[in-house]
Structures are given as C-alpha cells and as structure tokens.
Structure 1
Amino acid sequence: MVSREEQRARVEAALAAHLLDHGLAQTSLRELARAAAVSDRMLLYYFADKAEVLGCAAQRIAADLAGHIGEAVGEGERLAPLALLERAGALVTRAEIRPYMRLWVQMIAAAGRGEAPFPAIAEAMLAGFLAWVEAHLAIDEAADRQAVAAMIVAAVDGLAIIDIGRGPDLAARAARAISHLGRPR
C-alpha cells in the first residue's frame, strides 16, 4: 500500500509538471486535481488549501530548477560577477529551462498584483535565487554582495522577459552578448 507521504509526493510531482506545462492559467482546484489524477476532495486531503497546493508545487519546481543551476555552476565554485552572469544567462536561455523561467515571470506578475499565495512564493523563491548567487560570487569582501547578486538576478530575469516578448532567438543572442561586456573596445 502506498503511504500518504508517497502519494502526496506523486501528486506534487504531477502538479509541478502541470504548472510547467500550462503556467498559472489552469490553477483552479478542479483543474489541479485533474492534473494530479485525484479528486478535488483528495487534493484537499493532501494539502490544507489551494495556497498550500501551489506553494508545494512551486517548491518542487524551485528544487528541480536548482538541480539544473547546479549543473551550470558547481557547488562551492565562485565566479566573478560577469562570469557568473554569463553562465546563468546561457542556462536560462536553454529550451529545457524556458518553462521554468516563463512560470517564474508569471508568478512575479501575480505577486505584483497581490494575488495570494504568490507574494509569499515569489519572496521565498527570490530569496533562494539571491542566496545562491551570493554564495557563488567571487568578489571583494568590501563589495555589496547582495546588490551584485540582485543585479545578476535582474539581468537573468530580463532574459526571460525578452524570451517571452521577442522570442528565444533574441534572448539567446543577448545571453551570448554578455561575454562582450567585459571586453575593452
């Protein structure tokens, strides 16, 4: 017999896949339950409410994305800001990462509109992204590490916005252009 925890993990995986495939457009409890192949009532057996459903799915997505990010920059590896930005830019413009970035932009937009539970989800995910960037920065200790990390996250998120608004070709070209920023003219 499958335990409640195992079944909940299966449901979380299905919900995360649904969000990556469909974004936030189909997130009624009924649609989420259908995506997880359970009834509405069963979904609420595993989770307290819709906010917890979305929060847990977002945590799973963030953990999966962290695995991809770990492939781009090794654990304990520290890079100069421009080198870290270049690697992160190359990563987020890859086709397999595009659904994560598109969902992230949707979550930020929903948080900006104050739609629960997205302000809390966005805050937690952004804190994780910033902490990861800070941990991988090789900069002078006198530098404002948090501000440099925020600049890198903003640039990477900007690539996702370009991808959505103008397409993956321009986003990929912009990511490759990062390497030219530090070169003298």
Structure 2
Amino acid sequence: MDGTPERQRLLGLVVDLILRDGVIDLSLSAIARAIGSNNRMLLYYFGSKQELIGEAALVAFDRFPRLRDMFDRLRDAGDLEERLIAAWDDLADPESRPYVRLFFQRFGIAMRDPDEWGDFIERVGREWVEEVDAVLRAEGFDGGDARAAATQIIALFRGLQFLLLSGVPADQLRDAYRLGIRPVLERAPGFSRR
C-alpha cells in the first residue's frame, strides 16, 4: 500500500499544501478538501493526521537539497569552522525558508499536544545533536565534550533560525553564529587562533 500511485499522488499534494499554507490549525478535513480527497482515503493511506503530516514533512525536506545534504557536507574533510559556517548558510538560505517555517509550525503544534507528537519531539531533541556529535568526535573531541558542544551548536541553529523567521537580517545572524561557535572551536583538539 505504501508505494501505490494514488498514495504517492496524495502525499505529493499534501507536501505542496503544507509548504504553501503551513500546518497551523490544519485539520484532516481541511487537508482532504484542499487536495480534492476525503478523510476516509487519507486515513486509509496514512493512518492518522499526525502520520500524514510527519511523512509529508519528510518528503518536503527532500525538496530542499541544501538542507537534505547539510550533514553530509559537514562530515566532509576540511576546516571545521568553515564547515560549520557552511551548515548555517544552508539553514539560512532563502530557498530553505519554507521548510524552516514548516519545522517551527510543527514544533509549535507538538508543544501544544506533546502526548500525540512525542516521537517528533524526541527526534527534534536528538537527531541533529547526534549528527553534530559524530562530526565533533571525528575531529577529536572526547565523548562528553562532543555531546555538549553539539548541543550548543544545535541550540544556536534553532535560536538563530527563529530570529531569521522573525526578520533579523541574515548577515547579522551569520556574524552571531560565528561568534557563538567560537567557544566550541576553541575546545577543539589542536585548535590554533587565527
């Protein structure tokens, strides 16, 4: 059932919808009406509104190659500071904005109903930290310091993304990010001041 053409068609329409209109106050009925379907079909193919939105958000993420490939580039060889700055540039790119906006909308909904969205909340608090933690360990950070530094970097990402969506100029945020990661870089094994 997962790969049926009709399911994929409906999923694509939902992705278009949530990227265009967001997910705030979007009921299953409203989704069905907007894409020319009905509740019964959406429940048949996706099980629940949460599963539909979750899967659509994953598909939406793939439409943003700078975001999708950000951690691959962060794992590449080269100067750690340059790779971390490039990761911020990927997040702050104007083309990434629709997905960033969708992410924060989903997070707001999850905070309103944490029992229903618990898996999403848990992944938000874990996945990106684990990605950056692995990069920092590969750079020679020890386990505990790598985890703390990764958490700090992701906290910077999230806070600065929020400010970006609030209209703060991207160059101002890039400068703030550069200053924010400086303490992390100074803890890197073999760091030398430039």
TM norm. shorter chain > 0.5: yes
Deviation of 1:65 after TM superposition, in Å, equals 4.9
C-alpha distance 110-172 of structure 1, shift in aligned 2 (>3 A): farther
Compute the RMSD of aligned alpha carbons. 3.2
Distance 2:78 2:110 in 1: 31
Equivalent residue runs for 1:56-95 within 5 Å: 56-65=55-64, 68-70=67-69, 73-74=72-73, 76-77=75-76, 82-95=81-94
Deviation of 1:95 after TM superposition, in Å, equals 1.0
User: What percent of counterpart residues are identical?
Assistant: 26
Note the residue ranges of structure 2 that are not aligned, 5 or more in a row: 187-192
SS state of the match for residue 159, structure 2? helix
Distance 2:111 2:25 in 1: 19
Q: TM-score, normalised by structure 1?
A: 0.77
C-alpha distance 70-82 of structure 1, shift in aligned 2 (>3 A): same
Query: Structure 1 runs of 4+ off > 6 angstroms?
Result: none
Distance 1:31 1:89 in 2: 35
CA contact (8 A) 2:24 2:105 kept: no
C-alpha distance 78-130 of structure 1, shift in aligned 2 (>3 A): farther
Q: Deviations over 1:29-78 (max 9, x none)?
A: 12211343322221122121212212222332344457634157437425
Q: Deviations over 1:84-134 (max 9, x none)?
A: 431221111111111111121222222222355333223224432222222
How many equivalent pairs are there? 182
Distance 2:100 2:19 in 1: 9
Deviates more, 1:152-161 or 1:18-27: 18-27
**1:123 to 2:86 alignment:** no
Asked which structure has the greater RCO (Cα within 8 Å, sep 6+), the reply is 1
- The one-letter code matched in structure 2 to 1:154 is A
SS state of the match for residue 152, structure 1? helix
CA contact (8 A) 2:129 2:154 kept: yes
SS state of the match for residue 74, structure 1? helix
Aligned to 2:16: 17
Distance 2:50 2:127 in 1: 19
Deviates more, 1:93-102 or 1:10-19: 10-19
CA contact (8 A) 1:20 1:99 kept: yes
Equivalent residue runs for 1:135-150 within 5 Å: 135-137=134-136, 138-150=139-151
CA contact (8 A) 1:69 1:91 kept: no
Deviation of 1:178 after TM superposition, in Å, equals 3.4
Distance 2:44 2:160 in 1: 39
C-alpha distance 100-16 of structure 1, shift in aligned 2 (>3 A): same
CA contact (8 A) 1:88 1:156 kept: no
